[in-house]
A and B are shown apart, each in its own frame.
With several copies, the nearest count.
Chain A
Amino acid sequence: MSHEVMGYNAAMGLGLVEEMRADDSIFIMGQGVVTGGWFGMEKGLVSEFGTDRVLDCGIAEAFEAGLAAGAAIAGMKPVINMGFGDFALIAGDEIYHKLAKWRYMHGLDVPMTAVIIFPIGAMGGAGPEHSSCTEVLGMHFPGLKVVVPSTAEDAKGLMKSALREPNPVLFHSVQGLGWSRGEVPLDPDFIVPIGKAATRRAGSDLSIITYGSMVPRSLEAAERLASEGVDAEVIDLRSLVPLDWDCVLESVTRTHRAMVVHEAFRTAGPGAEIAAQIQERAFFDLEAPVLRLGAKDFPLCQSAELEQAAIPSVDTITGEARRLAAI
C-alpha cells in the first residue's frame, strides 16, 4: 500500500476528493470553499467537481447546517465546512436538534449522510470566538456521531468513513494540527472506522486517554515520563461518539491509573464523562482517582502566548501524570 507524506488538512481534503469521485451525491459547501478553503482543505475541488458540487456560502451558519439536514434527508450527502467550531453555537438548532433528531422525531429509519466539519481549538491567536472546542455538545445531545482525528492518516480515513456513514457526523478537525504532516495511505479503500480508538503508545503504569491536539503533547509527555521510569500508555480516542469503551477499560484495568487530557474546557468537558464512566465501570481496579486536564475555565485570550498558557502543555501533562503515578 503506497503512502504519501502530507498535511492534516490536505489529507482530509484527499479523503473527500476520493469519496466525491466515487459518489456523485456528495457535495461540499462552506464559506470560501470555491477558492480552496480558508485552511486549504478544499484546494482544487472546484476545478475537478465544478460549482454544482462545490458551493460557496455567505455568512449564515444556521442556513449551512440546516441545508445539510434538508439535503441529507432528500438523499444527498452534504459536507459543510463550518469554518470554526465556535459556530456550533450559531447553528445549534440545526445541528443538535435537526440533524440529530429529525429522523427520530419523524419515526424514520433511512440513511442520512451529512458531514459537518468543525475546526476546533487554538490556532495561534484567533481569539475566544474562533478557538472553541465544542465537541462535548455532540456527546451530550444524542443522534450524531462525533470524531476528532489527531493525525493526517486519521483525518483522511475518518473523512472517508464519515462519508460512508448513514448518520450525520460532526467531524472536528484540529486547527492546531492543520499543518502537521504525516504518512497517509493512498489506497482509496483505506478507511479509519468510526468508534475505534488507537493505542498510540503502550504502557503499564498509567493510561493517558486523550484525542485531538493533545495526542502529540501526551506522547511527548510519555517520552519524558519514560526517562523518569514511568511507563504511560497513550490512547487516542479518535471518536467520541461512539466511544471505544472496550479499549479504554481494557487499558485502565491493566494500568490501574487513568487521566484524561483534552483541549476543551475542563469543566463539563468530554473528560468529565470519560472520568465519570471509568470510575463507574472500573472503580475497584483503580488505585487513584481518574484525573483530568483541560483548558482553564476562562475564555481563550487573543494572544497566542496566553492561549497556550490556558491549555494543557507537555509540561502540565507530564506533571499531572507524575502526580498520578505517585498517588
Chain B
Amino acid sequence: MAAPEPALLTDMFHKMAVSRAIELLMLRHTREERFSGWWHPGEGQEAAPIGAAAALRSDDYLWYQGRGCAWAIGKGMDPLPILGDLLGKMNGATRGKGGGVPHWSDYGLGIMGEGATLGSVYPLAAGSALASKIRKDGRVSLADFGDGTASRGTFHETMMHAAAWKLPLIYFCENNGLLVGTRTEHVSASADIANLAKGYGIPGVIVDGQDAVAVYEVTVEAVARARAGEGPTLIEAKVTRKHGHYAGDPQHYRDPDYLKDYRDPLELLAARLSGNEAARLIEQADAEVAVAYEAAKAAPEPDASVIERDLYHVA
C-alpha cells in the first residue's frame, strides 16, 4: 500500500479543511440567506473525495456527482469559483449560470463536471478514457457516483465495454446507503456495490470512506492498474451522509440508528498529522474561505444576457 507522504497528508488535510469550511458555510447560508435551488450537503462525507482526488494527477479526468464540494477542492479548484457559483454570481465557475446543483468544471485541472441526470457520467468518463487510450496520453478517468446511482443502466453499458476494452477508467462509488430517503438496499440487488464488479471480471474494492488515507491508498492502486493498461476498477467507499438529502430536508424518513457509527473524516485525518498542524490548517482554511465568501457575495449578479451565452461555440 502506498501511504501518503507527509507533504501530501498536509495537502489533503488542507483541502479537507477548506471543503469543510465551505460546507459549514453553505449549511448556514442556505438556512439564513436567500439561496436559489437546492444544496446537497457533503459535510461529513469529505474523506472519499479528498482521498481519491489526491491519488489522481492534475491532468486526470474527474467526472463527479454533486454532493458537497470536496471533489472540486480535492482536484485543485479554489474556493472562489465554487462559492461564486453557488451564490449564482458572475465570478463563479460557470460564469453566472450557477446555483444549487454544482456544475463546476476546470479543464486545466481535469475537472469535467457533473450531470444532474444521475448516472450520466459513466459513459462520459468512458469517453475521456477512450480519448486517453487512443491518444496514449496516460491519463486516467474517474467517474464518481452514489450507491443509488449504481442502478442506472449506463453503469452497466459502460462497464461492459470498459472492461472488455481495458479502458483507464475508475468507478468510484460513495455508498452512504441512502437514495434521498430510501434505503438503497431495498431497491438494489446488492448492498455492497463492489459486488457488481464480479460480473464484469474487474476488481471491486470496499474501503472505509470516512478515512481519506485508506481511500487514497486503494485509489492509488486503481490508478496504477488503469495507467498500466490493465483496465477498470470499481471502488466502493462506505460513507455516512450526515445531513439531509438537501439542506433543509426535514428527513422524516431518517432512521435514528443511521448516524450512530458516524466518524468525522476531518478528525480521523487530523490524527495523522503532528503537533498543532491540523489546527493551523483549519484556521488557514477558514480564513481563505471567509475571504472567498466575501468576494463571492460582492460579485455582480448575472443579467438576462447570460441566458444566451455559451450555447454554441463559434470557431
Binds B, one of A127-135, A172-180, A200-208, A319-327: A127-135
- Give Cα distance in the complex from A124 to B125, angstroms: 30
Interface string of B275-315 (1 = CB under 8 A from A): 00000000000000000000000000110101111111111
Interface presence of B181 (CB below 8 A): yes
Shortest Cβ distance from B115 into A: residue: A98
Contact B103 A56 (CB under 8 A): no
Q: Check if A111 sits within 8 Å of B311, measured CB to CB.
A: no
Tell me if B19 counts as interface (CB < 8 A to partner A): no
* Least distance between A227 CB and chain B CB atoms (Å): 27
Contact A106 B149 (CB under 8 A): no
* Residues from chain B with Cβ under 8 Å of A112 in the complex: 313
Q: In the bound complex, do residue A69 and residue B315 qualify as a contact, i.e. CB atoms below 8 Å apart?
A: no
- Is B74 part of the contact surface with A, judged by Cβ < 8 Å? no
Complex: A143 Cα to B311 Cα, angstroms: 6
Alpha-carbon separation in the docked complex, A54 to B127 (Å): 14
Task: Determine whether the beta carbon of A63 is less than 8 Å from that of B154.
Answer: yes
- Is B205 interfacial (CB 8 A cutoff)? no
Within 8 A of A (CB), among B163-219: 179-182, 184, 186-188
The count of chain A contact residues (Cβ–Cβ below 8 Å) is 73
Do the beta carbons of A60 and B152 come within 8 Å of each other? yes
A29 to chain B, nearest CB (A): 8
Q: Are B313 and A111 in contact (CB under 8 A)?
A: yes
| A73 and B103 within 8 A (CB) | no
CB distance from B238 to the nearest CB of A (A): 18
Contact of A302 with B by CB under 8 A: yes
> Complex: how many Å from CA A171 to CA B179?
24
How far is it, in angstroms, between the C-alpha of A75 and the C-alpha of B301 when the chains are bound? 31
Output the least CB separation between A94 and chain B (Å): 6
Asked whether B152 lies within 8 Å of A68 as measured between CB atoms, the reply is no
- The 0/1 profile, CB within 8 Å of B marked 1, for residues 61-103 of chain A is 0111111111111111010000000110110011001100011
Closest to A167 in B: B312
Is A182 part of the contact surface with B, judged by Cβ < 8 Å? Answer: no
Determine the distance from Cα of A108 to Cα of B181 in the docked complex, in whole angstroms. Answer: 34
A217-257 near B? 1/0 per residue, CB < 8 Å? 00000000000000000000000000000000000000000
Q: Interface code B119-133, partner A: CB below 8 Å = 1, 0 otherwise?
A: 110111111111111
CB distance from A174 to the nearest CB of B (A): 18
Is B118 part of the binding interface, using a Cβ–Cβ cutoff of 8 Å? yes
User: In the complex, how many angstroms separate the beta carbon of B6 from the nearest chain A beta carbon?
Assistant: 34
User: Would you call B116 and A130 a contact (CB within 8 A)?
Assistant: yes
Is the Cβ of A70 less than 8 Å from the Cβ of B113?
A: no
Closest Cβ of chain B to A48, distance in Å, is: 16
Contact A58 B160 (CB under 8 A): yes
Which residues of chain A come closer than 8 Å to B158, judged between CB atoms? Answer: 60, 63, 66-67
Q: Which residues of A contact B153 (CB under 8 A)?
A: 60, 62-63
A188 contacts partner chain B, Cβ-Cβ < 8 Å: no
Give complex CA distance A52, B135 in Å.
9
Q: Is there an interface contact between A31 and B179, defined as CB atoms closer than 8 Å? A: yes
Across-interface contacts of A305 in B (CB, < 8 A): 36, 88, 301-302
B93 at the interface (CB under 8 A from A): yes
CA A90 – CA B153 in complex, angstroms? Answer: 10
A52→B97 contact, CB < 8 A: no
Kindly list 19 other residue pairs between chains A and B, CB separation below 8 angstroms, not including A63-B122, A107-B97, A305-B301: A32-B180, A63-B158, A63-B160, A66-B158, A69-B124, A70-B112, A70-B129, A74-B61, A74-B131, A74-B132, A76-B127, A76-B131, A97-B117, A124-B36, A301-B96, A301-B99, A302-B99, A305-B88, A306-B302
A-B contact pairs, 10 of them (CB 8 A): A32-B180, A57-B161, A65-B123, A76-B134, A97-B120, A126-B37, A126-B101, A143-B311, A166-B315, A303-B88
The 3 closest A-B pairs by CB, nearest first: A70-B127, A66-B123, A302-B99
